[in-house]
Amino acid sequence: MRAAVFLGPSLSPALALKELEAEYLPPIQRGDIDALLRRPEPPEVIGIVDGRFLSSLSISPKEVLAAVDQGVRVYGSSSMGALRAAECAPWGMIGIGRIYEAYASGAVDADDEVAIIYDEETGAAASDPMINLRFAVDAAVERGLVTAGTRATFVDAAKRLYFPERTARNTLRVVKPVLPAGEHEALARFFASDAPDTKADDARLLLTAIREYLG
């Protein structure tokens, strides 16, 4: 394979294969890029979407830049990839998507914005990333479903939740007593049906960028 992509709960490999033929690997951790570079034929492109950070050492910027120095094109988006791209873009890593842009601009700066828990066997997420909740409630305001005040209340409540317990449902439960009933109902319907999944959207953008680069 000319491309290797570290992918997990942001987008399933089955869906990713519809966008790009690549070698799909589990969420990245320390040592994974070095292992790719030791192969007789390293990939031309590495994509980083998801990564490990609690039970395993996170991938380091130094390891990313070692790949860049060897001529490997490294893309990052969505989650750990967006974090590392925001740090390493000045030295050649390529950041993709809204989440990367939020980190690169300083609009967000906390690692817990992208942190979730997930089932390692199935890859299914068991919580919602804070950054997805932010962009979703922003979209609800843009559509006229809720006011800016409701957005602020929702975002503040979600941020106070410990990230393994952070879900749209839990946040809606917390804010229900203080939101206008109509706006709470509108937001609940929005999260149940039309809310964007920015992590998944950014992962697809990364795959598209790799596909276009490889031609």
pLDDT at 55: 65
Q: What is the pTM of this model?
A: 0.95
pLDDT at 124: 86
Judge contact between 76 and 100, C-beta under 8 A. Answer: yes
Chunked into runs of 10 residues, the chain (215 residues) has average pLDDT values of: 94 95 96 96 97 84 96 97 97 98 96 90 90 98 97 98 96 97 97 96 98 96
pLDDT at 99: 98
Longest dimension (CA), the chain: 61
pLDDT at 121: 79
